[in-house]
Each structure stands twice: as structure tokens, then as C-alpha cells.
Amino acid sequence: MADYETDILVVGSGAGGMTAAVTAAAGGARVVVIEKSDLWGGASATSGGFIWIPVSHLAEAAGAEDSQADAFSYIRQLTDKVIPDATIWAFVRSSREMLEWLETNSYVRCRSIPYADYRPEVAGARLGYRTHDPVPLDGRLLGAALEQMRPSAPAVLLFNRLAFTMDDVHPLLHRPPGWWRVLLRVLARYYLDIGQRLKSRRNRFLAAGNALLGRLRLSLDDHKGAVWLNTPLVELVQRPGDGRIIGAIVMRDGQRVRIDVRNAVILASGGFEHNAEMRRTHLGQSWNPDWSGSIESNTGDGLAAAEKVGAQTANLDSAWWGPMLKLPDEDQARLLTFERALPGCIIVNQGGRRFMNEASAYDVAAVRMFESDRPGEGTIPSYFLFDRRYRDRYPIGPIIPRTPDWIQQKGARQILIRADSWSELATRIGLPADVLNDTISRFNADAVDGKDSLFGRGDSPYDRYYGDPKVTPNPNLAPLDQPPFYAVPVYPGDIGTNGGVVTDENAQVLDQRHVPIPGFYATGNVTASVMGHSYPGAGATLAPAMTFGYLAAKHAMKQTTDVPAVAS
């Protein structure tokens, strides 16, 4: 006899799992979402919250020109050859449907924004309006659930605590005339919320991933869906004979609890980025969990449970890669996004040489670190170099411009290396001084000319998105010639793994024969992503998770079973 029965059991409370839960609950299903940790929202809640959706109704309303054929072609060229066309088409066609459905049937609201695709040189790419930004939310609407939501990562907060929107980014980063009004607005939203400031540092103005997950939670609550925290999955229950997944064993309040399901289990438990053993087995050069910007509870439990019931896996060597800063006083590493594109910085290897276009998409930058790592010219770590002018103008992770080094966060002070000359800095970090000086001299000459002769930094529309428009002739280039000079180490890490169980176009989990396991679906980073080893654009992580969560719930609602008691 089961301890609990439901129609749909969702494992994981990130964007993919919550989208599945909302879709099923709105269709009349009884839904339980189980979450391993004491906070709901998963890695999605900590993220920028972007959703990459081609040809959305919102993009059309903004006047953007796009086509599903171009979107399919773009993904097809970038993703792995083994990803079926049918799966790509399912994403391209259903992502628009998913977003329209959420905007009609839930509290989810987004804006299509002019953010360039990560590979603008590939046929089918667009220079904007496939990336969608969640509309901010008043956190008070969540009631008690607000304090239990996983907060935004410090990397997506101003001064590690202030929520801001995409409209705030460029004024705060580039400081055009009137930028201080934007800063005052951001400060006022936080510090004038007196009641909350007396209780907690947590924002009640929710933006980015917190806004998206908050909107999904409101929607699930409206449809009486349940969210159980501190409830890790132990194992899946499989019916003898046909192998159908008919439930799960979980831990709740220290006790083993069996949950039987009438329709399906939808696995959305995230990746294995914080499992040291799995990283060493599958992720090669990026073996260290400390280099991940994802959440500590993503340790591959769901993947292991799926494998035990015969699920096929693929692409376990893949992740959403990026160059990361690791601060000793923070649990999560920080992704270097805009910093690398700004004028007045470079990245060098342990031989003192540049080896890539620093402004390229972050997955490309990390892969270049893997590919370029060799004796005498190691790139793990590499060094992010900048001068006083850059230091005064732009933030670097948590390092605040125009403020003394001694006032910075302790972890930032620990990794920040400073010297009065490039030769001195080279000595301090173990680089050959003559090579580094030659590297700086060549880059400075290129910066004056406005043309990166080695790697073409600033040639791409994607590079220029974060470039400083006040800097000419190239918004991504400026000489590094104002002492003192600085360095911080950079590691090739990730914001989550994206290899795992293999699914079909309905998000059904496939077994070793490539046949769907009845009653079993999966979405998000526990699966082998439709994007394969590629990263097409901002939000290409969350969009497939949400789309296939939506498809999983729709398909599962049509599948029912009488669940007999089975000994666990």
C-alpha cells in the first residue's frame, strides 16, 4: 500500500519541473513536486532567468523577423549529429506554444529583448529577440514561500544583494549621462523596503531567475499543486512485466515514503556538477566541483535513479561551460560574462600569451581553455589581466570600481593580484616577463588601431553587445597601459552539466533499445540536451527544460495506469 498517491510526481523544482507541474495541474491533475533541498527553485532560481525561444509571439509583437526554418537550421548546425531532427523540431515548434500557453494560463510574463545569438556568424542566427527576460515580480505575493525560495546567485545581483533588470544593465555598466538615476532607483527599491530590511537581506523585488520561478510557483499554488521540500528521491518503482514507472520511494521527515502515480513521474532533478566522482569520470579537465557556478545540491541523484531502471544516457562529458572566478569565501564560482568583452582587459595562458577572443560566448571561451591547455602554456588556470583604467571603470565579479582594494569582499582581495609593472606582475603569478610584455605591447598597438589582429575581438555583433560604446574605434578594445596592473585567475567551469538520460520528442525517457520507458519522462539538465554540446543563445538552458517539461506533462496526462501495490 502506498503512503501517498498522486497523478503526476515531479522530481525537482527548477524551471523545467515547475513548468511541467503547472501544465499538469492546470489540466486538472493532482501534482506533487519533490525537492531534495530545503529551498525550492533549483539552479534556475539562481540564474539570469533568460529563455531562448525562436519566433515567439512576443518577438513578433516587437517587430522582429524570424522563422522556424531558420531556427531549426541554426540549431541543426550547432548541435550534435546524433540529436534527431524530430527532437529539434519539437523544441522549435513547441517552445513558442509553451510560452503562449504560460502567458495565457499562468502568471508567467516575459519580454523579448535585443540580445544577439551566441553564434551570429552561423546561418539562421538572429541579432536579437530570441532571448526572453522574465518580467519582475513583487515577492510579497508569494507569502511564506518567498523565504523558502532559493535566492539569486550573488553574480546576478548588484553589490551581491540588489536585484536589477536588463534595462538597468547597460546604464550601470557603461555609465552614460544620467546613469546615476538608474543606480538610485536600484538602491531605493532595496533599501526603502524597510519592513523587509528589518527582517532579512532577501529581495522582495524579484528579477531574473527569481522572477521566473516566483511566477511559476504562484501559478502552481493557484492550481493546488504541492511542493515538498527536504524530500530527496531514493529510487523509482517499476512495475514487473512491462517496466512501467508507477511511483517512487522518497525520504520525507527522515522516513521512507512511497508515492504511487497514476500518470507518470517527470524527472527534472538537475545535473551532477557537484558530484566530485562523476566529474572526474565524465568531465575530464574540469574535474573540480569548486569551478561550478551551479547549486550544491545538484549531485546526480536523479540520473543515478534513472540509470537503475534502464534509462539510456548520452553526452555525460557535456556542460554549459564558461570561464569562472572562484572566490574562497563563496560556495559557487562566478561566470565571467560581460567582463571579458569590455575594453582594457585580456586573458593569457601560463606562458604569458593570449590564446582566444576574450569577448566570445562563454562556452566558446571555456572550450578554448580546454583545447589550449598544454605544458608550458597551461590554461587551467588562465589569468584575466587589466589595468587601473579598467579597474576604475568596470566591475569584475564582486570587485566594485572606484573603490579601494582594501574595501572589497574578502574573497576578492584574496584572488586579486596587483603590481606596478607588467614585469613585476608576471613574476608574482609565475609568467615569463618578456613574453607577457610582448603580448601587452602587441595588444596595445592593436587596441589603438581598433583591430585585434590575432583573434578578431570586436568583429562580431555578439562581442559588441557588452562592449563600451563610449570607446572608439572598437568598443571591445583599449590599451592596458595605466598602472597599477592587476590579475585574477580564471578556471574553465560550468553553470550546470547538460548530459544525461536520453529522451524523445515527447520527453519520454528511452531505454537501451531506444524504446520509451512507460510512465517516465525527463527534462532539464538531467537529460542529454537537445542543444548537444552547443550553446546557441542566452536562455538555451532554461528554454528546452521548460519546453520539454510542458510536452512531458501534456503527453503524460493522456497516459494512465492502475497502480498495484508493489513491494519496494
4-37 burial, b at 16+ Cβ within 10 Å, e below that, comes to: bbbbbbbbbbbbbbbbbbbbbbbbebbbbbbbbb
Q: 393 and 485, same structural domain?
A: yes
Q: Which residues contact 343 (CB under 8 A, 6 or more apart)?
A: 390, 447, 467, 468, 471, 474, 475, 476, 477, 478
List phi, psi (to 5°) of 40.
-100, 160
Instruction: Give the integer Cα–Cα distance in Å for 72 and 85.
Output: 9
**pLDDT string in tens for the chain (568-residue length):** 569 999 999 999 999 999 999 999 999 999 999 999 999 999 999 999 999 999 999 999 999 999 999 999 999 999 999 999 999 999 999 999 999 999 999 999 999 999 999 999 999 999 999 999 999 999 999 999 999 999 999 888 888 888 888 888 888 888 889 988 989 998 899 898 888 888 888 899 999 999 999 999 999 999 999 999 999 999 999 999 899 999 999 999 889 999 999 999 999 999 999 999 999 999 999 999 999 999 999 999 999 999 999 999 999 999 999 999 999 999 999 999 999 999 999 999 999 999 999 999 999 999 999 999 999 999 999 999 999 999 999 999 999 998 999 999 999 999 999 999 999 999 999 999 999 999 999 999 999 999 999 999 999 999 999 999 999 999 999 999 999 999 999 999 999 999 999 999 999 999 999 999 999 999 999 999 999 999 999 999 999 999 999 999 999 998 766 554 444 3
Residue 208 CA to residue 156 CA, distance in Å, equals 8
- 402 and 336 within one domain: yes
23 with 127, same domain? yes
Question: Which one of 467, 494, 521 terminates a domain?
Answer: 494
Residue 543 domain flag: yes
Question: Which residue carries 531549426 as its cell?
Answer: 72
- Cβ-based neighbours of 416, under 8 Å, separated by 6 or more: 399, 405, 408, 486, 487, 488
Among 463, 494, 525, residue at a domain's last position:
494
Same domain? 486 vs 505: no
In contact, 529 and 544? CB cutoff 8 Å: yes
Q: How many domains is the chain built from?
A: 2
Kindly report the CATH number assigned to the domain that includes residue 129. 3.50.50.60
Q: For residues 139 and 152, give the distance between their C-alpha atoms in angstroms, rounded to a whole number.
A: 13
**Whole-angstrom Cα distance, residue 126 to residue 178?**
31
What is the extent of the structural domain holding 408? 323-494
Please, what is the end-to-end C-alpha distance for the chain in angstroms? 10
Quick check: 20 and 50 in contact, CB under 8 A? no
- Say which residues have a Cβ less than 8 Å from residue 240's Cβ, sequence separation at least 6: 566
Together in a domain, 141 and 78: yes
